[in-house]
């Protein structure tokens, strides 16, 4: 079985059938087209998109339903073709599709979720893409007030 050395997770052994192909890559990372969805029980609902090619490249994500329960990603014909699914609106209750928001976690202040360009995964086809939500007004930095980095507490 193939392995990668991940900066955050150490040695990851994976089955090639678990790899998601991103035909267009991710904006800014077009050379990285293969990712693993890494889920760890103790870190749920957070998950990670780990590049297969670069062990130091990973994105922390949340299902969009954890950010905004009413959020729907519009998957147009172009993106649907890459995913090999039907065009349409996909949200937390959609079958056969996972919609994730990539997070930014600053040193101070609340984390933000990118709802302008959610990551849509189609487990049935093992395809993924970052589906930009043109004309929807979805924010690229949606604040998550319940998620603030805190300084470590000293226990006496």
Cα(156)–Cα(154) distance, rounded to whole angstroms? 6
Q: Which residue has the tokens 């976690």?
A: 105
Cα(92)–Cα(73) distance, rounded to whole angstroms? 10
Report yes or no: 63 and 56 within 8 Å, Cβ to Cβ: no
Report the chain's C-alpha Rg in angstroms. 16
Pairing of the two strands 88-90 and 73-75: antiparallel
Residue 28 neighbours by CB under 8 Å, 6+ apart: none
pTM: 0.90
Per-residue pLDDT tens, the chain, 156 aa: give them: 999 999 888 999 999 999 999 999 998 998 899 999 999 888 899 999 999 999 999 999 999 999 999 999 999 999 999 999 999 999 988 999 999 999 999 888 889 999 999 999 999 999 999 999 998 999 999 999 777 666 556 665
């Amino acid at each position: 079985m193939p392995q990668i050395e991940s900066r955050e997770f150490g040695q990851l052994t994976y089955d090639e059938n678990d790899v998601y192909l991103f035909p267009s890559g991710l904006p800014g990372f077009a050379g990285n087209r293969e990712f693993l969805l890494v889920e760890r029980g103790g870190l749920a609902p957070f998950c990670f998109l780990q590049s297969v090619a670069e062990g130091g490249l990973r994105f922390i994500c949340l299902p969009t339903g954890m950010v905004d329960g009413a959020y729907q990603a519009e998957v147009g014909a172009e993106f649907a073709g890459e995913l090999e699914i039907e065009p349409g609106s996909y949200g937390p209750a959609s079958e056969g599709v996972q919609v994730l928001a990539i997070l930014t976690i600053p040193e101070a202040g609340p984390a933000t979720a990118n709802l302008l360009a959610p990551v849509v995964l189609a487990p049935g086809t093992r395809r993924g893409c970052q589906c930009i939500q043109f004309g929807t007004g979805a924010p690229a930095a949606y604040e998550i007030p319940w998620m603030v980095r805190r300084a470590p507490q000293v226990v006496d």
